[in-house]
Amino acid sequence: ATHLVWFRHDLRVTDNRALFAACEDADAQVIAVYIATPEQWRAHEMAPRQASFIYQHLAALQLALAERGIPLYYQQCALFADSVDWLQRFIRQQGVDALFYNNQVEINEVQRDAALDRALPAQVRVHRFDDSLLLPPGSVTTGDGNMYKVYTPFRRAFLQRLSESDTRSLPAPAVRGNGQQPPLVALQPFDYPQQESQGDFPIGEEAARARLRRFCRENVGDYLAQRDLPAVDGTSSLSPYLAIGVLSPRQCFNRLRTECPDVLERTDGGAFGWLNELIWREFYRHLLVAWPALCKHRPFVAWTDGVRWRHAPQDLLAWQQGKTGYPIVDAAMRQLNATGWMHNRLRMIVASFLVKDLLIDWRLGESYFMSQLLDGDLAANNGGWQWGASTGTDAAPYFRIFNPTTQGERFDPQGHFIKTWLPELVEVPEKAIHQPHRWAEKQRRMLDYPLPIIDHAVARKDTLAAFEAAKQRA
């Protein structure tokens, strides 16, 4: 029998359910395929640096598979629809008996898989797995079988389910007895812009697992105290790996449990705090499956679509470039632009600033993030934006508006983070760093740094009025 493993956002050999299942029959011939879809990526605004990250991991995957006697075929198709046609032919040519893949949750991906399903002849068996989550979408529901709209009861039910589920990680498959070390053909570069990240994100499953081990051993205990401080390396920085499946959430959970066996009992500890973030990841993915409209630029709370957003391209540009005159916002955006990663607290601050200070449509922020993020992930990004914009389920209420100055004072009190990314402010003393122009004025100095593009107090009132008007119109 010939088994085909179709790799998508699961670029690893360890703990990969589809790959493991395809290899279970020792006599089967196992082959693998990856299909790049540059036009589709453009439509999804995938960041060029995420494309590079995928490309480099693909090369690593090709090698890891070859060592196990599994050849990786590689093809570029413009769109998902083209990939379905190509794959159908490929399956026929190769005489594939069974296809194995791990499910994705986004609507275009789900529709692509359904189209392939319809197109394949009945004798080709299709084996699908829920591999990118700790628990499958649709498996954590309210008493009447619906998806939760609020996070805390979801988490309660989730933890109950988790304790009853088999979440063991699977090993990488053994070397195929009947396989041959296939020749390593250099992968043709994607027809897509490429960009290296300046961040510290080494390539490979081993590097990701080493980071996970180190984090769970050394940092997780301080997670709650440190996770909101962007100047401190207090979070795992694993999101780029989780986003494209170089690492699985089961590997994260199991490593956490190995290092902190009482994680589920000590709910006030750092380990539970970190697990809580992994559960947010699950929550947003489960939501996307329950409400596919979230994939189509729809807000969860319908009346928020009536907010009259400002058309302010200059302000949008200032925000994108990190030139708003609010140091914490600007430092965060420059970190994003340079590395493709941004600290979670800062993502919340800059999202709030765009939507609630500049009154710019959250979808423009969501799409700019996607175009820059190394860890771009529709569910988490959309969830984060809809949370910050108060358009999502269980989101921040619309009248909760971060003050960008006090957020900076609270979470970067000495301005260490700000000074890392805004070299034009290095000479500003600590206590003046969040309002540098006030200090500069007193000193009669000129700063090569923009004045605030908006007055927060005024903006706050305008935003409240805009949301209230939309609510009344609804």
In the list 39, 45, 191, 277, the residue contacting ligand FAD (rule: CB under 6 A) is 277
- Report the nearest approach of ligand FAD to the CB of residue 15 (Å): 16
The yes-or-no answer on residue 319 being catalytic is: no
Distance (Å) of CA 90 to CA 22, 39, 86, 103, 383: 17, 21, 6, 20, 37
Contact residue for ligand FAD among 31, 77, 87, 351 (CB under 6 A):
351
The residue written with tokens 């990786």 in the block is 72
Q: Does 364 bind ligand FAD (CB under 6 A)?
A: no
Encoded tokens for 463:
């935003």
Is position 239 an interface residue for ligand FAD (rule: CB under 6 A)? yes
Q: Both tokens of residue 418?
A: 């700000």
**Nearest alpha carbon to residue 425 among 353, 329, 314:** 329
- Report how far residue 279's alpha carbon sits from residue 194's, in angstroms, rounded to the nearest whole number: 32
The count of chain residues that interact with ligand FAD, using the rule CB under 6 A, is: 29
Residue 243 in contact with ligand FAD, rule: CB under 6 A: yes
Q: Which one of the listed residues 385, 387, 421, 439 is annotated catalytic?
A: 385
CB of 292 to ligand FAD, least distance (A): 18
For residue 275, how many other CB atoms are within 10 A of its CB?
25
SS3 69: coil
Asked if residue 348 binds ligand FAD (CB under 6 A), the reply is yes
Rounded distance, CA 308 to CA 311, Å?
9
Q: Is 280 a catalytic residue?
A: yes
Query: Is residue 300 close enough to count as binding ligand FAD by CB under 6 A?
Result: no
Taking the complex as a whole, how short is the minimal distance between the CB of residue 310 and ligand FAD, in angstroms? 19
| Residue 373 makes contact with ligand FAD by CB under 6 A | yes
Cα 455 off chain centre by: 32
Whole-number minimum distance, CB 280 to ligand FAD, in Å? 4
Is the distance from CB of 310 to CB of 330 less than 8 angstroms? no
Cα–Cα distances in Å, from 425 out to 126, 151, 379, 446?
58, 40, 36, 11
Per-residue tokens: 423: 């070299």
Question: Is 12 or 281 the residue whose CB approaches ligand FAD more closely?
Answer: 281
Q: Give the chain's radius of gyration (CA, Å).
A: 24
Which C-beta is closer to ligand FAD: that of 69 or that of 204? 204
Residue whose CB is nearest to ligand FAD in the complex, by number: 384
Q: In angstroms, give the least distance from the CB of 21 to ligand FAD.
A: 25
- What residue ranges bind ligand FAD (CB under 6 A)? 227, 235-239, 242-243, 277-278, 280-281, 284, 343-344, 347-348, 351, 369, 373, 375-377, 380-381, 383-385, 388
Kindly list the catalytic residues: 277, 280, 309, 344, 362, 385
